Structure 1
Amino acid sequence: MEKQRRVMLKLSGEALAGEKKTGFDEEVVKDVARQVKLSVDQGVQVAIVIGGGNFWRGRSSNAIDRPKADQIGMLATVMNCIYVSEIFRTTGMKTEIFTPFACSTFTKLFSKDAANEALAQGKVVFFAGGTGHPYFSTDTGVVLRAIEMEADVILLAKAIDGVYDSDPAKNPDAVKYDTVTIKEVVDKRLAVIDMTASIMCMENHMPLAVFGLNEENSIANALNGKITGTHVTA
């Protein structure tokens, strides 16, 4: 029996806010749901991690202790996953939200077996709350869960349409990579994911793909293996 494709999709919180830059833009989230449903209906197993930047970033206040600031960020990701999960449900998808810490009845406590069962049932699985510990970004959280869940690939939906050798916003001559190795990402410190997450990908042979969120049907295409951005090989 052919193995079902299993992908881990990382969405930025800022992307959910649209032009408002904070909170949620419901039409943006509905379009994400529409695209994900196309793949779920075709049997692709989809897990999602969402950042919390539309509510809180780790440096939002220098007056707050770093661990407490990170805890606020973790809760921001929980809010995002609850909201997006409900929008997904209105389109007919079934969902499950897992967190590494108890959130009353809002979410389920993460276990690999429970998450595997939810994916096998055709549910879209959301991993909220990061790793559950301070000093780790949602980049690290998404890589950790992708490795644990034996995902085929991590898909990074970004404002930029791929990986460049320098910041294209600052360097008009920046060159975009079609393919780059995760070792090159680490050695050249390319801005794909943070260093901890990059090294985890390298050590565990987890491939990534980076694509532009704002391109039409980019999520649907990426979920089906059609990447117009950059493949990061492991």
Structure 2
Amino acid sequence: MPAYRRILLKLSGEALMGDDAYGINRATIARMVAEVHAVTKLGCEVAVVIGGGNIFRGVAGGSVGMDRATADYMGMLATVMNSLALADAMRQDGLTARVMSAIAIDQVVEPYVRPKALQYLEEGKVVVFAAGTGNPFFTTDTAAALRGAEIGAEVVLKATKVDGVYTADPAKDPSATRYSTISFDEAIARNLQVMDATAFALCRDQKLPIRVFSILKTGALMRVVQGEDEGTLVHV
């Protein structure tokens, strides 16, 4: 049995790029889907929020000087593109996925409706939440915290390129050590950048723990779901 029955997996768009400059690396997304598929076989219910940086990076130069709200809406559309690609990769791997968008694009994806999302999770489907919160000025980190709280997730899993939260930047300081666990208050006191401030505060207020781990490590998601010491657990 998994240690967590229901999780919210937060993926950055950059995680899909692999070694590419932008866009989606097919081998990378297939590997991630295989890891998600493996944990669903344990009986774990999985919801996903994905960023759009990998898509938006390709047009970032043209967004210089653009109105912030307009740029944020473009970013939301990028997350829809990523969500469709992820759901299609899941379909090809034998998983059933449903994409639910916070902005209305009815011809392409379903609108986000909380009871419907809960129904899908209970049926064993993977739910991919697209378009962030549907509002500019809020990141997909905040969307992950919000959707995680709404669906009753037991933990938000933030999949990054670093295998946890460290005392310092491990790329710059070889002596930096990884926290196995750390409290929200201590993370704030030490000014550790776990998530953006709004998302972090929401998780703290809702007593929703965050597990930061590396999506680049094979089998890391499985180890997290099984309750092993993988990454860093941020808790109340």
How far, CA to CA, are the matches of 2:137 and 2:233 in structure 1? 27
Can you list the C-alpha shifts for 1:168-217, whole angstroms capped at 9, x where unaligned?
Answer: 22222222111101122223221110111111111110001111111121
How far is 1:123 from its partner? 0.3
> 3-state DSSP class of the match of 1:140?
helix
Alignment-derived partner of residue 169 in structure 2: 167
Q: Report what 1:137 is aligned to.
A: 139
Residue of structure 2 equivalent to 1:226: 228
Return 5+ residue gaps in structure 1 as ranges: none
Instruction: Give 1:54's aligned amino acid.
Output: N
CA distance in 1, matches of 2:66, 2:179: 39
**Code of the aligned partner of 2:28:** V
Contact preservation (8 Å) 1:186, 1:195: no
1:78-157 counterparts in 2 under 5 A? Answer: 78-157=80-159
For 1:10, give the aligned amino acid. K
Aligned-pair distance for 1:5? 0.3
Work out whether 1:56 is the aligned partner of 2:56: yes
Partner Cα distance (2:23, 2:175) in 1: 34
Query: Aligned partner of 2:15: which letter?
Result: A
* Helix, strand or coil at the partner of 2:19: helix
Residues 4 and 43 in structure 1, CA contact (< 8 A), matched pair in contact too: no
1:16 is aligned to 16
- 1:33 maps to what in 2? 33
Cα distance in 2 between the residues matched to 1:221 and 1:82:
27
- Does the 8 Å CA contact 1:16/1:23 hold for their aligned counterparts? yes
- Report the CA distance between 1:97 and its aligned residue: 0.7
Q: Which amino acid aligns with 1:100?
A: A
Partner of 2:217: 215
Q: 2:9–2:159: 8 Å Cα contact kept in structure 1? A: yes
Aligned residue in 1 for 2:190: 188
Root mean square deviation, CA, Å: 1.7
Tell me which residue corresponds to 1:44: 44
Q: CA deviation at 1:12?
A: 1.2
Q: CA deviation at 1:55?
A: 1.3
What is the identity, as a one-letter code, of the residue corresponding to 2:55?
Answer: F
Letter in 2 for 1:77: T
Q: Is the 8 A contact 1:9 1:47 kept in 2?
A: yes
The residue type paired with residue 148 of structure 1 is E
Separation in 2, partners of 1:39, 1:196: 29
Equivalences, count: 232
Whether the 8 Å CA contact 1:211–1:227 is kept in 2: the answer is no
- Residues 36-55 of structure 1, C-alpha deviation per residue, up to 9 Å, x if partnerless? 11111221100001111101
When residues 4 and 155 of structure 1 are mapped into structure 2, their CA distance, relative to the original with a 3 A threshold, is closer
Structure 1 distance, partners of 2:94, 2:113, is 25
Residue 100 of structure 1 and its aligned partner are, at CA, apart by: 1.3
Once the two structures are TM-superposed, the CA of residue 221 in structure 1 deviates from its matched residue by 2.2
Deviation, structure 1 residue 107 = 1.1
Q: Percent identity?
A: 38
Q: Displacement, 1:59?
A: 6.8
Aligned to 1:179: 181
Whole-angstrom CA distance in 1 between matches of 2:117 and 2:189? 34
5+ residue gaps, structure 2: none
